[in-house]
Amino acid sequence: MFSFAHIEYLLLLLLLIPAVLLFIFNLRWKRKAKKKLGDEQLINLITSGHSGKKFSRKFYLILAAMALTALGAANLRSLGKSENVNRKGRDIIIAMDVSKSMLADDIKPTRLDKSKQFISKLLDQLPDDRIGLVWFAGKAYIPMPLTADQGAANMFVQAAAPDAVPTQGTVIGEALRLAAESFPQQDKRYKVVILITDGEDHDESAVTIAKQLKQRGILLIAIGLGTAEGSPIMDPETKEFKKDQEGNTVVSKLNEALLQQVAAANGGLYGNLQNNDAMIKDVTGIINQLDKKGLEDNVSNASFNNYFTWFIAAALLLLVIELFISERKKTA
């Protein structure tokens, strides 16, 4: 049985309609132009070296390549050998602070880069766990729900950036609430939220929500990024340090007291991310104390035979052929 993995890309086929209309318009314009220029027989004699059939043939090849590219993007696939995988692990949601204060470089290379390095190494230590992501600044949202695909999780982690959340700020409470709501409520697996932030803005709701997580059986691990001395924040757009309303350079500092309160309210762990390896050891040590619950996964992408490469290869072949077709007629 065949299906498309990304059926939304079939909408690209609609681009064929304006392409065909443009081609028809071009042919009519050429006919009208010939009549306006004067003697049509003389014009035909002057343009006798041009082949209209070859011109049309080149267009059809490009049109077919566009159609094949759209089909390739939609990824036609057939169901392979179906099997259920019994995966044992925990559900872990990582709440990443992506506000502009995370661009401060008191932690090298920057706080945000340091968090990415830490998460990437942490994922390698949790191969059997499902991972979800929450990005937050002045708002919080889910770029990736819980998944057993570690490769996809790492890809989203590396893509995290301040412009992913236009509203600036540090809404730790909202991030924790959204993370808690992202766990399957009927699932009895052990659940962990790993909060990674500089905690720069004081979020009064964070401690209250951390307590609520504890009541729901969700363990919170808070990880702080930054130093007490702090650092100015380089704006990636202006390439200048961020300033306040009075024109003074803003210095972003780690709000360690808030993060300690949040962790204590939940009964979880707080740690300052100065050393990746040491923190990974602490975090994995706590997580590994939690029993793993079995989960029977559905059929994964590996259970499908994907054919997108054939469509893309055919499209490239047609484009190469089109390049070698001349619009000039062969001369005797």
pLDDT of residue 172: 92
Residues 41, 30: Cα–Cα separation, whole Å: 14
Whole-prediction pTM value? 0.62
Average pLDDT over residues 30-55: 67
Q: Does the pLDDT of residue 297 top 50, yes or no?
A: no
Q: Does the pLDDT of residue 211 top 70, yes or no?
A: yes
pLDDT of residue 233: 81
121 closest CA partner among 95, 150, 145: 150
The pLDDT mean for the chain works out to: 84
Q: Which CATH number fits domain 87-296: 3.40.50.720, 3.30.980.10, 3.40.50.410, 3.30.70.100?
A: 3.40.50.410
Q: Does the pLDDT of residue 119 top 90, yes or no?
A: yes
pLDDT of residue 303: 57
Task: In the chain, list all ranges with CATH 3.40.50.410.
Answer: 87-296
**Does 109 sit behind a cis peptide bond, omega within 30 degrees of 0 on the bond before it?**
yes
Q: Does the pLDDT of residue 83 top 70, yes or no?
A: no
pLDDT of residue 42: 60
